[in-house]
Structure 1
Amino acid sequence: MTKRYSYKIKSYVNASHAIRWATGSGQKHTHTWEIVCELHTTDKMVAFYDIEKILHQALDQLSGKFLNDLPEFATVNPTVENVTEFLFGKLDRVLRENGAKLLRIEVSDSPTRSYCIDVTDL
């Protein structure tokens, strides 16, 4: 049996967006986005404060923003799926630079639905 150790950290970001449709844009509205990251580290124990600080620095780019105005969403529709894909790329990069690997990200724009990306290999 092989054990895999991981940490799970939840973060919240308030940001607004408007979905673009073929006929125009929907109404601008705000969500409290919940971002749950499960990550692997080479050490069995890490300082949560350090990992949370890294995650929050990356997430601050979205905090209080209208996502449609960000360069990353100028041509990409800011749906929960695309926001999750964007956050996965950004968070995986900064975590790897700090000795951790993102295993799973779950992003919710409501309490009843989430979009998830899992990594199957380390």
Structure 2
Amino acid sequence: MFELKILNHFSAAHQLTMVGEKCENLHGHNWRVEVYVKGERLNEAGVLVDFGIIKTHVKTIMKRLDHKFLNELPFFENDQPSSENLAIYIAKSLQEMIDEPGVVVSRVTTWESDNACATYYPQ
């Protein structure tokens, strides 16, 4: 099994309800994102997938989030834009973009600060 990791970041604002008074205020984060893809077989070039392909997909997703009020995005219409739900959104979006046989998103970690993050492991 092979696993690749891509790092990226974006800045965005959100409001969370039912989490605590502090989080209910409009606030923002400089999010750091770790995206992992995995697969069992290397391609004819001897790699799982070209890093550039995954980086391009992740950049596309980051552009959808960067400098936005996350609560207003369609994906968060019924769910709060928490770190956990952001990781789900990024994982699902990336998986839809991957066109390499046998390559799947294995996990996504979203860091809202240097000491707080959430990791999602797609099934």
TM band (smaller chain): 0.7 to 0.9
1:87-113 CA-to-partner distances (Å, cap 9, x unmatched) read 221112212x34431111111111112
SS at match of 1:6: strand
Equivalent residue for 2:4, pick from 7, 10, 19: 7
Percent identical:
21
Closer, same or farther: CA 39–30 of 1 in aligned 2, 3 Å: same
2:18 corresponds to: 21
Closer, same or farther: CA 33–23 of 1 in aligned 2, 3 Å: closer
Q: What are the residue-to-residue correspondences of 1:26-105 with 2, within 5 Å?
A: 26-41=24-39, 42=41, 43=43, 44-45=46-47, 46-95=49-98, 97-99=99-101, 100-105=103-108
SS at match of 1:116: strand
Please give the alpha-carbon distance, in whole angstroms, between the structure 1 residues aligned to 2:36 and 2:120: 11
TM-score (norm 2): 0.80
1:7-28 CA-to-partner distances (Å, cap 9, x unmatched) read 1111101111011239998111
Q: Any runs of at least 4 consecutive aligned residues in structure 1 with deviations exceeding 3 A, and if so which?
A: 21-25
Please give the alpha-carbon distance, in whole angstroms, between the structure 1 residues aligned to 2:95 and 2:53: 15
Contact 2:14 2:71 in 1 (8 A): yes
Query: Which amino acid in 2 is paired with 1:8?
Result: K
Query: Which amino acid in 1 is paired with 2:24?
Result: G
TM-score (norm 1): 0.81
Q: How many residues align?
A: 116
